Amino acid sequence: MGEDPARYPIGGRMSDVVLGLGRRFRLKPLTERYNSVAILGLFAFVNGLISIGLMSLVALLTSQPFIFPSLGPTAFLLFYTPLQPTASPRNTLCGHLIGVVAGYLSLVIFGLVDAGPALVVGVSWARVGAAALSLGLTAGLMVWLRVPHPPAGATTLIVSLGLITTIPQLVVLMLGVLLLVIQGFVINRLAGVPYPVWAPRLSPA
């Protein structure tokens, strides 16, 4: 079934989130112009600023890597297509976990756990193998386990390229994903969007 281009001018379901928040907080400009591209862009800007800004603040205060590049596309999915399977908590958490495990396993197999980041030490044949194996494993496992989440492909490369490699750092990375999912759940539910508690809904609204 096709989407109504008047209600969803950029696709996705971000208009529903904006409309729901406008109704929840009685913000008339949002309820009247929830499907305006200008308003949707402003919402995306503010929401992205707050989402990643809060994660960055936690990272600053704790000196831990709570913020990493693949959180950006994950945040966008949680608010652009919140009812799609790829944005569900199950797919988001499992996808990133698969990426982390596949990335670290690739480092172990190619003897790169203590090699340093590729951006500093350069790219070797072992690094090429680790990167290729990590992405292949991540893509395959997400399909086999039916938990696709595209940003996890970036997560596994962050690990296999040596940017985040220690077990404590990887645990913090997953905590960052969890915090973002919780934020996505709260904002979508406040907006009246039936964002799932865990598994994706069978028929997205």
Per-residue pLDDT of the chain (205 residues), as tens digits, is 457 888 999 989 999 999 999 999 999 988 999 999 999 999 999 999 998 888 888 888 888 878 889 999 999 999 999 999 999 999 999 999 999 999 999 999 999 999 999 999 999 999 999 999 999 999 999 999 999 999 999 999 999 999 999 999 999 999 999 999 999 999 999 999 999 999 998 754 4
Task: Specify if 137 maps to a domain.
Answer: yes
Task: Specify if 133 maps to a domain.
Answer: yes
Task: Specify if 8 maps to a domain.
Answer: no
Q: Which domain holds residue 47?
A: 14-190
Task: Give the number of other CB atoms < 10 A from CB of residue 115.
Answer: 17
d(CA 54, CA 48): 10
d(CA 73, CA 52): 11
Task: Specify if 205 maps to a domain.
Answer: no
**Number of domains observed in the structure of the chain:** 1
Task: Specify if 7 maps to a domain.
Answer: no
Structure pTM? 0.93
Q: What was the pLDDT predicted at 203?
A: 58
Task: Specify if 1 maps to a domain.
Answer: no
Q: Is the dihedral of CA 155, 160, 161, 164 positive or negative?
A: positive
d(CA 110, CA 172): 24
Task: Specify if 86 maps to a domain.
Answer: yes
Q: What was the pLDDT predicted at 1?
A: 47
Give the angle subtended at the CA of 104 by the CAs of 103 and 109, to the nearest 5°. Answer: 100
Task: Specify if 200 maps to a domain.
Answer: no
